[in-house]
């Protein structure tokens, strides 16, 4: 993971500063893991993965097995999951309650809670 480079630009530094100031520790670590999952998936598969695929890996563990156990352990040690599952589900459930036909509502209705609870990254 040491060879994965985070852009050293004014915009990237500002984004991290804002995220650090306003996101919870769980969401900040989630953001940093998603970036590294995407980079690791690209390296592993030799193709470009969308950030949404890396987010799915982090939220529900989709495609976690294509990365080595060492890669997963290193990212999780550096950016722990903390209480991401609880926080993420709380946000999604609140949106689903307000807007049952939204993407959050559809995700909750399709079993998102079970997939998050069974995420192998939390094992």
Question: What is the rounded CA–CA span in Å between residue 35 and residue 22?
Answer: 18
Q: Is-contact 12 6, C-beta < 8 A? A: yes
Question: Has residue 54 got a pLDDT over 80?
Answer: yes
Q: Is-contact 58 37, C-beta < 8 A? A: yes
> What's the mean pLDDT in 15-29?
92
User: Is residue 1, in this structure, part of any structural domain at all?
Assistant: no
pTM: 0.74
Query: Number of folded domains in the chain?
Result: 1
User: Is residue 34, in this structure, part of any structural domain at all?
Assistant: yes
User: Is residue 40, in this structure, part of any structural domain at all?
Assistant: yes
Query: Domain span at residue 53?
Result: 10-122
> What's the mean pLDDT in 64-77?
93
Which pLDDT belongs to residue 46? 67
Greater model confidence, 3 or 78: 78
Q: Is-contact 94 105, C-beta < 8 A? A: no
Question: Has residue 58 got a pLDDT over 90?
Answer: yes
User: Is residue 5, in this structure, part of any structural domain at all?
Assistant: no
User: Is residue 3, in this structure, part of any structural domain at all?
Assistant: no
């Amino acid at each position: 993971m040491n060879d994965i480079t985070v852009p050293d630009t004014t915009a990237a530094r500002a984004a991290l500063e804002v995220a650090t100031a306003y996101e919870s520790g769980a969401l900040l670590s989630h953001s940093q893991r998603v970036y590294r999952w995407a980079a690791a998936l690209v390296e592993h598969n030799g193709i470009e993965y969308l950030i949404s695929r890396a987010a799915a890996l982090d939220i529900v563990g989709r495609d976690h097995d294509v990365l080595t156990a060492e890669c997963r352990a290193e990212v999780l040690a550096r950016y722990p999951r903390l209480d991401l599952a609880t926080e993420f589900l709380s946000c999604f459930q609140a949106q689903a309650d307000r807007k049952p036909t939204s993407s959050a509502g559809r995700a909750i209705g399709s079993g998102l809670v079970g997939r998050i609870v069974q995420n192998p990254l939390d094992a």
